[in-house]
Chains A and B, each alone.
Chain A
Amino acid sequence: MSSPPRTQSPSRFRGRLRHPLRSVHGFLTRHSLLLTWIVRRLLSAFAQILAVVTLLYLFFEIFANHLISEGGITPRTVVSQWWDFLINTLTGNWGSIQVGSGFTINTAAYVGYYLPYSLELAALSLLLTSVAYPLGLLAGWRRGRALDAATQGYSAFILYVPAVLIAFLAMVYLYLPYYYYTGGDIPFGTLPGYIWFDANGGVPTWIGIYGNTSPTGFPLLDGLIHHAWGMEWIVFLKTLLCAAVISGTYTGIFLRYIRGAVSEAIPLSFRQAASARGIPERRLLWHHGGRRIIPLYAFAFGNTFGSFLFIQSIVEYMFDTNGALYLLLYQGGSQLIGGAGGTEENLLIALIFLLAVVIALVSIAAEAIAIALDPTWLTKGRRR
């Protein structure tokens, strides 16, 4: 067979060149179903966010009686105030809050100080949660065996022992071992305590207000950048402790959703056909089964992400971390005692709004991954 000529006329060459617009068109054609689904979901997520903001407005402006105190409710005042509230919330104009006596700070900046640690903790927790992948696969594959029974028992235990108690018990049993291991530091907070800093040359200059580290704000990353190995080890230990509690609890919830679904994803007929062709069980399990359940895991993660954040907020609160979810419960707790009102509610509104946005986006992203890996999800009627 003769090879194609190396020299081509300019016109023929132009015809074969993949124009960027042409490749975009090709991508859009290949993934049109998925893209349509993503656009629909984004639009519905925007509507959800609007509804959440409206609920926040109802709770904080109508129920908290602000309008009545400002001269009575009329439809006109309600609509104009709702519109202002909506625009301010969506654009991140969350006002300011009072921190300490007489010191106010912009709410968005305040949340910004606490956000990096929550992200860092979530990343480490999710990394540890990846243990659910082999566990769920093995339990669903070999149903009725010891591992399956243990997984079921663990899931049931986690279901009825509230996450707050798991975090509490972890704190009870880890307090003293941690204290002795680190030579006097306590497992609360994100950074080492003042006693540790005093014994190790004082607080470095790159740790600023509210324990915010520079230049990135991520304590683990900044410790690495500044080669502060002693502090890095303590921060890592504390983060790992919290992440272990979060992932231990969340894995129990996640496995409950996953276990039954694994056998659905890898039906008996599939196994029998593969065995009949002489494929060893190990290869069948990890190579074929492992791939088939990834979309299922992504889908389950999207559906249970709210639970993950719930657990993380509890753990952050219990371990007194420098995280944004700690703020949510701390402010909620303060207002449980003092009642709603004051500038603290700006923080609560901002955090709940951010939470709703994150949940909606992560849910869409997880489901999009599931659909991209297994497009039959779109035709199974599980989602609209």
Chain B
Amino acid sequence: MGRRLDRILRNRALLLGSAILLFYVLVAVYAMIRFRGSLDYIPPHPDVIAGLLLPQRPTLTLFPFHLGAYPLGETGGLGFNVAEALVKGTPWDLAIFSSVIVPTAILGMVVGTLSGAGSGLVDDLLMAVTDVILSIPPFVFALLLFVVVLPRVPTELLLPSFLLGFILVLWAPYARLVRAEAKRVSRKYFVEAAAASGASRSRILFRHVLPNSLTPMLSQIPITLSTMVSVMTLLPFVAIFSSGSVVNFVTFLPSLDFPEWTWTLANGLLGWSVITETNSWWGYTYPIACLMFFGAGVTLFVNGLTAYLTVES
């Protein structure tokens, strides 16, 4: 136990990643307590929507410390308070990302293990399905979901449907990685020893092969997260720039004033102007920083965990 703790304490990536993720969890808890009752709503600024006002500049000053009404300013588009939108969006985004990453990893893990340790026919069939999924880029699949499926889904099922679409697409790379590792592991002596001692096929699969095939799968988690962020940012952005406004926009969110990081960012981008005086840089800079910091936390955590587990095994 002491040695393990010592190794964890010497793993800087793991510690730093955990600290960043813990910070986000604490912000999420704070948001749920502080904004109880209004967590799913950011009041838009009616004058900004009408184009009568420029978005508010950040009011935060460090010397002397002063928060003000708009610490990180206001976005273009619907005119969200950036700080409020990012804080309120934290619990939702943590839920959105984890509700996609966990099921995709589990689905990919099961398919990959069955394929890697299964017979030729099972392997060929499962990998054929995986190849079909991999041949459609995730953003095209998301675009199809957006265009065709979401307009026909009831509002309360929009977000779950969109996330389900992500899960259906993003499990495939996990399956490929786990399959390759499961193939390697299933040729190891301890698996042959388990088979010789009379262990059942399912026991060998899920007790011996699967736990030893997990490490490469971890490296896919930051890529899944990055794909989600890219697609979730791209879709509102494309829709907004095609129409020039946020009105009549089909969204995967329950409502247009829903606090979500990428949606805040898309609104922030509408505040950009080629003229420096009217360019609301804060509307897109802070949401980008928020996403990047979170991404760095996940990457460091995963890299640290991989290093820890690799040495451990």
A contact residues vs B (CB 8 Å cutoff) = 44-45, 47-49, 51-52, 55-56, 59-60, 63-65, 156-157, 159-165, 168, 172, 175-176, 306-307, 309-310, 313-314, 317, 328-330, 332-337, 339-340, 345, 348, 352, 355-356, 359-360, 381-382, 384
Contact = CB atoms under 8 A, between A and B. Distances in A.
B143 interface: yes
Contact of B135 (A168, A329, A360): A360
Interface in B139-155: 139-140, 143-144, 146-149, 151-152
B150 to A, nearest CB: 9
B249 interface: yes
A207 B140 CA distance: 31
Nearest to A158: B226
Interface stretch (B26-34, B75-83, B124-132, B198-206): B124-132
Contacts of B149: 59, 63
B107 interface: no
Nearest to B235: A336
Given A157-B292, A165-B288, A337 B152 contact: no
Contact of B136 (A55, A156, A161, A162): A55
A63 B147 CA distance: 10
Interface in B89-135: 123-124, 127-128, 131-132, 134-135
Interface of B: 123-124, 127-128, 131-132, 134-137, 139-140, 143-144, 146-149, 151-152, 180, 183-184, 222-223, 225-226, 229-230, 233-235, 237-239, 241-243, 248-250, 265, 269, 272, 274, 279, 284, 288, 291-292, 294-296, 299
A356 to B, nearest CB: 5
A44 B148 CA distance: 28
27 contacts: A47-B132, A48-B132, A51-B132, A55-B144, A60-B148, A64-B148, A65-B152, A156-B295, A156-B296, A160-B296, A160-B299, A309-B137, A310-B137, A310-B230, A314-B234, A317-B241, A330-B242, A333-B239, A334-B242, A336-B235, A337-B249, A339-B151, A340-B147, A352-B136, A352-B140, A381-B184, A384-B124
Given A160-B226, A337-B243, A52 B233 contact: no
The 9 tightest CB contacts between A and B, nearest first, are A160-B295, A333-B242, A336-B239, A333-B238, A51-B132, A306-B137, A162-B230, A162-B233, A335-B147
A6 B230 CA distance: 71
Contacts of B234: 162-164, 314
Q: Which of B135, B137, B146, B292 counts the most A-chain CB atoms under 10 A from its CB? A: B135
A340 B148 contact: yes
B131 A329 contact: no
Given A332-B147, A340-B151, 12 more contacts: A52-B132, A59-B144, A156-B296, A159-B295, A162-B229, A163-B234, A165-B233, A168-B237, A168-B269, A336-B249, A337-B250, A384-B124
Contacts of A168: 237, 269, 272, 284
Contacts of B288: 161, 165
Contacts of B296: 156, 160
A44 B131 contact: yes
A127 to B, nearest CB: 23
Q: Specify the main secondary structure of chain A where it touches its partner.
A: helix
B272 A172 contact: yes
B230 A164 contact: yes
Contact of B291 (A44, A160, A163): A160
Contacts of B151: 339-340
B148 A159 contact: no
Nearest to B173: A303
Contacts of B291: 160-162
Nearest to B238: A333
B299 A44 contact: no
A124 B144 CA distance: 29
Nearest to B237: A164
B152 A63 contact: yes
Q: Which of B140, B152, B223, B269 counts the most A-chain CB atoms under 10 A from its CB? A: B140
Q: Which of A162, A175, A352 counts the most B-chain CB atoms under 10 A from its CB? A: A162
Nearest to B279: A172
A60 to B, nearest CB: 6
Contacts of A51: 132, 135
Contact of A52 (B135, B223, B292): B135
B230 A317 contact: no
B135 A333 contact: no
A360 to B, nearest CB: 6
Contacts of B180: 381-382
B245 to A, nearest CB: 9
B148 A336 contact: no
B91 to A, nearest CB: 20
Contacts of B223: 159
Contacts of A45: 135
Contacts of B124: 384
A159 B226 contact: yes
Contacts of A328: 140, 143
Contacts of B243: 333, 337
Q: Which of B137, B229, B233 counts the most A-chain CB atoms under 10 A from its CB? A: B137
Contacts of A334: 242
A355 B132 contact: no
B250 A339 contact: yes
Contacts of A309: 137
Nearest to B241: A333
A163 B230 contact: yes
Contacts of A317: 238, 241
A223 B298 CA distance: 48
